[in-house]
Amino acid sequence: MGNIESARDLGQGVYTQSEVDIDKIPNGANSAITDDGTNVTISGAMQLLSEGGWAGLTGGLVLETPIYKEYQFKWGGLSSHTITLICGSYQMSEVVYTAHQTNGGGDYNEYRRGRWSNNHTTHVWSEFENSGDLGAMTTTFTVSENDVSNSGKLVIQETYGSGSYSYSTLTVRCYYGTIAAAIS
């Protein structure tokens, strides 16, 4: 393991002192970092860092484990938004989308969870859960081939009508392959 320089690079556990640059790891409110001279022990919740520069989205890669990379994004504004995720020829991710409005109504939060996968020329969005609604906007999910042959694309289209809207979030756990994201 290389030198660990940020919370994004690790999780709970015990690391040798030579693996961790403890001065570069932020200590979250519910976490403890102890250094006994040989090992660094991390317990509780860590404040995870995110990468910037994801083409207009706040967030990015927040966690990397042996089985997946987790990306988290947040955006808002009283307008329509198009979130575009792209991938290579072979990819599989779990996607969780939420949207929130700030005023009353019966369905003022939206939650969706599904599997986005790409296998050369087959592009799939399998929605497992779809709960709630926003009066201020409608949301659609569409998969297709990206501009590069055999690559994939997931487009989340938020069409703003009128009314209160606060923000939306997207969590992507990429189990196989790589992704990129942008907002327009």
Q: For residue 83, is it within any domain? A: yes
Domain of 30? 7-44
Q: What is the pLDDT of residue 16?
A: 53
Q: Are residues 158 and 109 in the same domain?
A: yes
**Per the structure block, which two tokens stand in for 88?**
């290579």
Do 169 and 104 share a domain, yes or no? Answer: yes
Based on the fold, state whether residues 150 and 73 are members of the same structural domain: yes
177 found inside a domain: yes
- Total domains in the chain come to 2
Q: What is the pLDDT along the chain (184 residues), one digit of tens a residue?
A: 344 444 444 444 555 545 555 554 544 444 455 666 655 555 544 444 444 444 557 888 888 899 999 999 999 989 999 999 999 999 999 999 999 987 766 668 999 999 999 998 899 999 999 999 888 899 999 999 998 888 999 999 999 998 889 999 999 999 999 998 888 8
Q: Are residues 67 and 113 in the same domain?
A: yes
Question: Is the Cα torsion angle 14, 19, 21, 24 positive or negative in sign?
Answer: negative
- Assess whether 77 and 130 both reside in one domain: yes
Q: For residues 29 and 110, what is the distance between their CA atoms, to the nearest angstrom? A: 29
* Residues 19 and 107 occupy one common structural domain: no
Listed in sequence order, the residues at least 6 apart from 7 whose beta carbon sits closer than 8 Å to its beta carbon are: 25, 26, 28, 46, 47, 48, 49
Residue 49 lies in a domain: no
